[in-house]
Structure 1
């Protein structure tokens, strides 16, 4: 009886062990298949943690630690000018924060072109590149493109003035009232006292501020003193180079200059005087030179 009981126990333990082994093998196989399916369905994307805006940020707002946060960003889609560390974004800590130059929405990456340097404000000096200067041009509704100019736009600058006619000619042989293109694709950095490039409404400005080189500052100052400046808006994606343009009243109306016929100079007359007593006789002779 004991032998039968022992035999039954051994068989039971064997069956139980076999059942556990089969269940374990089935579970492991299922997990492996599931892992393979997930690997094929969603390939791994390498990410990098970068700083993004933690809330909507507007122009002129101070960028602080609580304004940003780190988040994973695909490495292959990283834009230029991102910040990956706190030391890169705030090299001087909270004592010298950055200022927002362009509006950012929540979860938008913080880029170098959208913020100032540490401790700088959002004034014009932060928008001037090395070697560039700010120069103000007086405008009105007509010369300022009807108020559709915004900071960040590019414009061509035309000069209209009078060229004196006393032996003075421009490169295009113009005279009188002349309009000439003097600067091309000049960048606007402010319209009146507005330097925010996110401005959407029309601004009827009295002055616009452009970023130009020192030599261009002198040329624009001379042009503004001697005539009237007008602006022409350049398209956002227009990379063409404007040719030299110069128009006066004569070329505008298609008039041609008729040369004045020069009167022929009279032939020289050579004479000789002969005295006969008290009488002097004048005789014509051929000229020898």
Structure 2
């Protein structure tokens, strides 16, 4: 029994020594691997990243003919090797350069703007780029009173109102107004198509001059309507709220208001009615001259 116990102790001691040696060797091997990896990393230097350039991209999808605003674009990092010479880069451009420009074609969200992809105000084809497919541009004369005192800006939507005199064959003048086109987009004032031009630098919210002409975007039929009503009377713009939204196309006559609807002062005066009635009751005689007859009212109503 004693011999067996001594033998068992020897085996246990040998097993412990081998386990300890294995742990020490493994630890030394791991330390060596870490040192080799560190040495190799120092030899290779820091990780190399591809150079990037900040370019101007659109925040959301932009349809063709959209007049760009600063809040529609942003700077974004772009691989330098993929940057095209036509891109707007932060090194050679500013966001203000694209304000008021018009997209020639649709641009997907996150895509860079290109100089060939937009039309700048003042370019010869600018107005043609502003118009949506199938629409026409027509211009009318406006003033401070007919253009909402200059508060109408390119991009706003308006109603077109006609005011004219009704000729009723020599009787008292009659006036009527009617909305001939509704929800029409303003694409230009005078020769500018954005609200950033001709601003007072000390007060950006103040226009230097009230426009004298307004260019409207209408359908081909709407262009004919504007051409006709411009000869009938005075045209005025009625500014629509931004909350109204826009309709797919301008609408024809919405409302009509006569002078009698607007005020009772336009009604026929009692004295005028009495004069008309008296003239109708006045004695009349038939006069024949050279075979031609005519009826003449006798002055004084036949009183002696």
- Taking structure 1 as reference, are residues 153 and 11 closer, same or farther at Cα in structure 2, changes over 3 Å only? same
Q: What value does the CA root-mean-square deviation take over the aligned residues? A: 4.6
The 8 Å contact of residues 150 and 188 in structure 1, kept in 2 or not, is answered as: yes
* CA distance in 1: counterparts of 2:74 and 2:152, whole angstroms: 28
Higher helix share: 2
Partner of 1:177: 175
The 8 Å contact of residues 134 and 212 in structure 1, kept in 2 or not, is answered as: yes
Partner of 2:233: 227
Counterparts of 1:112-261 in structure 2, within 5 Å, are 115-117=103-105, 121-122=119-120, 123-166=126-169, 176-196=174-194, 201-202=206-207, 204-239=210-245, 243-248=254-259, 250-254=260-264, 256=267
* CA distance in 2: counterparts of 1:209 and 1:157, whole angstroms: 12
- CA shift, 1:254, in A, is 2.0
- Taking structure 1 as reference, are residues 20 and 235 closer, same or farther at Cα in structure 2, changes over 3 Å only? farther
* CA distance in 2: counterparts of 1:141 and 1:253, whole angstroms: 24
- CA shift, 1:218, in A, is 1.8
* CA distance in 2: counterparts of 1:100 and 1:149, whole angstroms: 18
Q: SS at the partner of 1:151?
A: coil
Unaligned 5+ segments in structure 1 are 22-52, 56-66, 70-77, 83-97, 169-173, 265-289
Q: SS at the partner of 1:218?
A: helix
| Among candidates 45, 48, 69, match of residue 103 of structure 1 | 69
* CA distance in 2: counterparts of 1:243 and 1:20, whole angstroms: 95
- Taking structure 1 as reference, are residues 155 and 68 closer, same or farther at Cα in structure 2, changes over 3 Å only? closer
The 8 Å contact of residues 148 and 238 in structure 2, kept in 1 or not, is answered as: yes
* CA distance in 2: counterparts of 1:13 and 1:137, whole angstroms: 102
* CA distance in 2: counterparts of 1:152 and 1:100, whole angstroms: 9
Q: SS at the partner of 1:102?
A: coil
Q: TM-score, normalised by structure 2?
A: 0.49
* CA distance in 2: counterparts of 1:100 and 1:158, whole angstroms: 26
- Taking structure 1 as reference, are residues 68 and 237 closer, same or farther at Cα in structure 2, changes over 3 Å only? closer
The 8 Å contact of residues 102 and 118 in structure 2, kept in 1 or not, is answered as: no
Q: SS at the partner of 1:237?
A: helix
Q: SS at the partner of 1:194?
A: coil
* CA distance in 2: counterparts of 1:210 and 1:12, whole angstroms: 97
- CA shift, 1:252, in A, is 2.3
Partner of 1:46: none
